Structure 1
Amino acid sequence: MFKTRIFLTGADSFTGSHILAQLLSHDSVSARLVVKSAEAAHVIWRQCQTHASSFLDAVTIADSDLLVPGVFDEALQDLSNPFSAIVHNLNVIPSDEADCLATYIRLETDAVIGFLKSVRDFAPAVTRVVIVTSLLPFARWLGDPHIDSIAVGAIGGHSRSSSVDSEHMLATSQASSNVVSDAVIAWTKQSGAHFDVAIVTAPSVYGPTVHPLENSSDLTETNRRLWNIFSNEPLGQTVSPLYGINHFSDVRDVADAAVRALFIERASNMRLVVSAGTMPSVSEIAEIIVAKFPELQSRVGIDGSPHRHEQCNDMPPDFLDTYLMATILGVTNLRSAEVTVTDTVRQMLDLQQRKAWRSITQN
């Protein structure tokens, strides 16, 4: 049976793993995955062992090599089974080189267009490239240009959210993202590329992982805030919103939008925003957790840290309008904050219970 051949970057990332799961739910799809290490590829093979190897293969490109010109050239070549579409899900953060916001935007733009040039030169059968982005990298850089993105992902990072203007941070991050998106779309139209692009953008991304958590170190920056609300770990990350971005999307909705954008013609050269509204304050999240998991009542607390009681406008800013996402992609029922928090915390509780059981059995 003929299968649509997809090239997926960042397949081992939080959002990328959800995109992969949705792609694998389509019997008519096969994929080549770009992952950051052989270990990451091994984990995916173990998790996706029910899928025939002929439907899935992987190449390894280390994070440190992502900005090397032409690093994707060889991976994009497959003469026997050429790719027809691509999902590009890598946020390259060249923070060490960016001494100002304009430079940061230029480097981000150059990285994406550099990837598209490789697609143009080495994947002639591709007709659609979906680029998946988030506002959080821009907000992180604006909050502290010297944050090491790899370290942030590993330890949960830190936030200066309590001292930033959330509205300004959101607007500036979105404007920065728009500059990159506009440049990418313009290049695609003017370069004579044989493909078009669709850009799926989320403000920040929360939600459960595809597979059970193995360790708390696997938590994303956003999800770690939820973990810290009901655990005994340091509560620095409970300050809301993270890097000043208080709007959110559920990772499952972002993945759904990305996969739909692969196959819907009307998404051509469009920027599609996936935003479910604002993530509640810490105190409100705590109330959701206690309501859904009463057994956690004695553990939920912020140890005297200030609660953020805000009157949030129900209407999103104009630049987070989801009209195009709904009308073009048909994604109309986004998961609410309550659903996202509940599903994510349930998965975290499962991890804690498994860790507790292992401790008991080992002793």
Structure 2
Amino acid sequence: MGETVLVTGGSGFVGSHLLAALLARGYRVRATVRDLADMRKTGPLRGLPGAERLDLYAADLLRPGSFAEAMDGCRTVFHVASPFRMPEKIRDGRAEMLQPALEGTRNVLGTVDATPSVERVVLTSTVGAIFGDYIDVHAMRDRTLTEEYWNTTSTIDTNPYHHAKTMAEREAWQIADAQDRWSLVVLNPGLVLGPSFTPSSESGSLFLMDELMRGLFFYGAPDFSFTVVDVRDVAEAHIRAAETPSAKGRYILAHPDMYSFAQIAKIIRSHYPRKFLIPRHTVPNAAVRVLGPRFGLTQDYIRNHLGIRFTVDNTRSTRDFALTYRRIDQTILDHYEAWRS
């Protein structure tokens, strides 16, 4: 209570929920955003309960030293800022994904090294730093996703977001291991869903759900499944990672079971049966293989993801953080209702 912390990327989907959770706990919070004048993103933050304890700073992931003022005097740094876009929205993987993720991590942690007050860094990574394609997990022990593995198959061309996050997390561990003043805890969430404070977020998870809810899959959903976690649980896990002295290493944040487009659609239709744009059927896999390339899906992507499921081991998060995950139907319905409004 009353401690000052820094959140990078405070206007993002995860970052804004983390700000709300920290303010509710009584923290004094500093948050960085790219543009203080962008009221679409900063307005909702200034309206959060407890916002009198929130200070916003402008910072650029690619500009060394731009986080120094905001970080000075903070004990904990939550490095959340990093772009997340679906593959079809990425035009230049190096410029849009790799440089902000990797150089941003170097710049933020370089400032941490130069800021004596910082004792702990909580880094937001992704399960995509553990695996590249779903088929990779079938080569893991018991076909189960655990923190011990690393993504070794993604490249800047085949999966730029996963590649960028893998490179950034590896860099973070290398920087952390080179010193002994501050500790690093890394969180690896699955697809983050739930209500958003603002429609201006560019998060890839919001884009993916928007495609489903506005009827892109009206005639039927392909059999793609996802590791899912509620954004509010992700925010809570960040705080517990900071407040738990014994926390160390990586933590997967996701439900043990994967959820498909069809399952997500069924949850929405169970409460909104007249929403006819929500799909009622699953497209046969053979049809997806034929039609997928017309929607930007390569045959490699289809072969390595379509119909593939695996188990997620979230034991470390539930044990070390005493984290209880929200029910998936609550997450999906809250996400849908926020999207409608």
Structure 1-normalised TM-score?
0.68
The answer on whether the counterparts of 1:72 and 1:115 sit within 8 Å (CA) in structure 2 is yes
1:338 aligns with 2:317: no
Matched residue type, 2:56: A
Q: In 2 relative to 1, CA 344–92 (structure 1 residues): closer, same or farther, beyond 3 Å? A: closer
CA contact (8 A) 2:191 2:229 kept: yes
2: distance between equivalents of 1:95 and 1:136?
19
What is the aligned counterpart of 2:64 among 69, 73, 82?
A: 69
Q: Deviations over 1:31-63 (max 9, x none)?
A: 111012122464145422x5363x2211112xx
Which residue identity is paired with 1:114?
N
**Hey, what's the Cα distance between the residues in 2 that align with 1:138 and 1:274?**
12
The residue aligned with 1:85 is 76
In 2 relative to 1, CA 328–168 (structure 1 residues): closer, same or farther, beyond 3 Å?
same
Q: Quote how far apart the aligned CAs of 1:323 are.
A: 1.9
* Equivalent residue, structure 1, for 2:279: 301
1:126 aligns with one of 94, 113, 118: 118
TM-align CA RMSD: 3.7
What code does the residue aligned with 2:134 have? Answer: S
Instruction: Give 1:190's match in structure 2, choosing from 178, 202, 213.
Output: 178
Match of residue 147 from structure 1: none
SS at match of 1:75: helix
Whether 1:199 and 2:186 are equivalent positions in the alignment is: yes
Counterpart Cα distance in 2 of 1:222 and 1:236: 21
**In the superposition, relative to structure 1, how do residues 126 and 231 fare at CA in structure 2: closer, same or farther (>3 Å)?**
same
Asked if residue 273 in structure 1 is aligned to residue 252 in structure 2, the reply is yes
Query: CA 1:274/1:304 → structure 2, altered by over 3 Å: closer, same or farther?
Result: closer
Equivalences, count = 294
For the pair 1:167 / 2:167, whether they are aligned, the reply is no
From 22, 32, 35, the counterpart of 2:33: 35
Normalising by structure 2, report the TM-score. Answer: 0.72
Map of 1:113 onto structure 2:
106
Percent of residue pairs identical: 22
* Correspondence list, 1:1-363, <5 A: 3-27=2-26, 29-38=27-36, 39-40=38-39, 42-44=42-44, 46-48=46-48, 50-51=49-50, 53=52, 55-61=53-59, 65-77=60-72, 82-91=73-82, 96=92, 98=94, 104=98, 108-121=101-114, 123-135=115-127, 166-168=134-136, 172=153, 180-192=168-180, 194-209=181-196, 211=197, 213=198, 215=199, 218=201, 220-232=203-215, 239=222, 241=224, 246-268=226-248, 270-296=249-275, 298-301=276-279, 306=284, 310=307, 312-313=309-310, 315-316=311-312, 321-331=313-323, 333-349=324-340, 351=341
